[in-house]
Chains A and B, each alone.
Chain A
Amino acid sequence: MTFGGGYAMLPIIEREIVDKRHWAELDEIMDYYAVGQCTPGVIAVNTATFIGYKLAGVPGGIAATIGVVFPSLIIITVIASVLTAFAEVPAVKSAFAGIRVCVCVLIFNSVMKLYKKAIVDKASLALFIIVFILAVLLDVSPVVFVIICALGGISLTRLGVRGK
């Protein structure tokens, strides 16, 4: 039961997996987490798959993945069914118009947090600006940006531009 995405899970994993069940050591969990961040996909899912795999091989990995998504699956399905039923009520509409303003601010805060971690030099700043402008102006799939930037990261590093 974790609120607010990936990072919220770390202390809970620590308590359940390390302290209570001794399934893994804390530094192993930190390693899982670091790898979870540098592989595609949802960090919490990646970490759960890892711990499951370590304990019981491939079936363990799959079981842990199902376990971590199951609560969200039920809770969100219930919320979605309620929301679609009440979406046309005027008060609900006004409430969501207010909530959308809050979502803007939450996304902005999230971007600022990620920005501090990701923009480490001039080249990464340039990449950020280029991707942002092109993504706003052009109707191109994000997949294209991701592939080009992964190759860009490798080329920039090889050219020795990184860190300057």
Chain B
Amino acid sequence: MMLYLRLYFEFFKTGLFSVGGGMATLPFLYAISDKTGWFSHELLADMVAVSESTPGPIGVNMATYVGYVTGGIPGALIATAGLVTPCCIIILLIAKALKAFRQNKYVDAAFYGLQPCSVGLIAAAGMLVLKISLFDFGLFGETGKLIDLFNFKAIVLAAILLICTRYVKKLKGLHPIVFIAASALVGIVFAF
């Protein structure tokens, strides 16, 4: 019972404070991971891939996935309900005064500060994914050799993906699922 209450509360908080949609929930999920130990950083990175390859809003997908992993099917339902409760309440409250809300100078000014904040938080969460995917701190800790710190296979793959998704005209418009599938194959073939 306590687990379900905490799941609801943590995702309620995520829904209330994550601004800007999509990846905005990521920093909050990392905070939940650090605080509760319900799931690892590795699992969270896998979850981003699953969310990018399945239908539906990424925030909802992540809540469902984390809820399921920590508390089974009831956990999935409760975490998702927690995430959407604040959105639902806020929208119902402001629905009548929609235009006035949008043009309110305080709301506008707050979002002027919130947008760079959201980008900064997502970028910081990205650093955590970088740390577990491109580096090998475990091996470096054992051997103390600088060369063991870098996961060279992964760095080469990252460079190729970066070029393909940003600069190759024919590829960059493709759905992320294509790149995720290709990376999975490369991971198996080259034994990452």
Residues of A within 8 A of B (CB): 1-7, 9, 31-32, 34-46, 49-50, 53-54, 58, 61-62, 65, 68-69, 71-73, 75-77, 79-81, 83-84, 91, 94-111, 114-115, 117-120, 124-125, 127-132, 135-136, 139, 141-143, 145-154, 156-158, 162
Query: What are the residues of chain B within 8 A of A117 when measuring CB–CB?
Result: 115
The CA of A143 and the CA of B126, in the complex, are separated in Å by 18
The CA of A37 and the CA of B101, in the complex, are separated in Å by 12
Query: What are the residues of chain A within 8 A of B17 when measuring CB–CB?
Result: 40, 142-143, 146-147
How does the 8 Å CB contact mask read for B38-78 relative to A, with 1 for contact and 0 for none? 00001001101111111111111100110011000100110
Query: What are the residues of chain B within 8 A of A54 when measuring CB–CB?
Result: 95
B45's partner among A7, A76, A100, A149 (CB-CB below 8 A) is: A100
**Given that A80-B76, A110-B22 are known contacts, is A102 also in contact with B91, CB under 8 Å in the complex?**
no
| Of listed B49, B112, B165, residue having the most chain A CB within 10 A | B112
A98's partner among B56, B86, B122, B187 (CB-CB below 8 A) is: B187
**Given that A72-B57, A105-B158 are known contacts, is A132 also in contact with B110, CB under 8 Å in the complex?**
no
Closest to A121 in B: B112
The CA of A102 and the CA of B28, in the complex, are separated in Å by 21
What's the least CB distance linking B7 to chain A, in Å? 14
Query: What are the residues of chain A within 8 A of B171 when measuring CB–CB?
Result: none
Query: What are the residues of chain B within 8 A of A83 when measuring CB–CB?
Result: 46, 50
Closest to A42 in B: B59
A80's partner among B48, B69, B126, B177 (CB-CB below 8 A) is: B69
Query: What are the residues of chain A within 8 A of B133 when measuring CB–CB?
Result: 97, 100-101, 103-104
| Of listed A9, A107, A143, A148, residue having the most chain B CB within 10 A | A107
Residues of B within 8 A of A (CB): 13, 15-23, 25-28, 31, 34, 42, 45-46, 48-61, 64-65, 68-69, 73, 76-77, 80, 83-84, 86-88, 90-92, 94-95, 98-99, 101-102, 105-127, 129-130, 132-134, 154, 157-158, 161-162, 165-166, 175-177, 179-180, 182-188, 190-192
Closest to A84 in B: B69
The CA of A120 and the CA of B15, in the complex, are separated in Å by 26
Query: What are the residues of chain A within 8 A of B175 when measuring CB–CB?
Result: 3-4
Query: What are the residues of chain A within 8 A of B183 when measuring CB–CB?
Result: 98-99, 101-102
What's the least CB distance linking A106 to chain B, in Å? 6
Closest to B69 in A: A80
Q: By the criterion CB–CB under 8 Å, are B23 and A110 in contact?
A: yes
Query: What are the residues of chain A within 8 A of B51 when measuring CB–CB?
Result: 5, 76
Query: What are the residues of chain A within 8 A of B31 when measuring CB–CB?
Result: 141-142
Q: Which 7 pairs from chain A and chain B are nearest by CB?
A: A98-B187, A153-B113, A41-B87, A131-B120, A72-B56, A149-B117, A118-B115
**Given that A72-B55, A101-B161 are known contacts, is A114 also in contact with B91, CB under 8 Å in the complex?**
no
A46's partner among B22, B91, B132, B165 (CB-CB below 8 A) is: B91
Q: By the criterion CB–CB under 8 Å, are A98 and B179 in contact?
A: no
The CA of A134 and the CA of B13, in the complex, are separated in Å by 21
Question: 19 more A-B contacts (CB under 8 A) besides A45-B57, A153-B113?
Answer: A3-B55, A38-B19, A40-B86, A44-B60, A46-B91, A61-B88, A73-B80, A75-B55, A76-B50, A80-B50, A98-B187, A101-B154, A102-B179, A114-B122, A128-B119, A131-B121, A135-B27, A142-B17, A156-B109
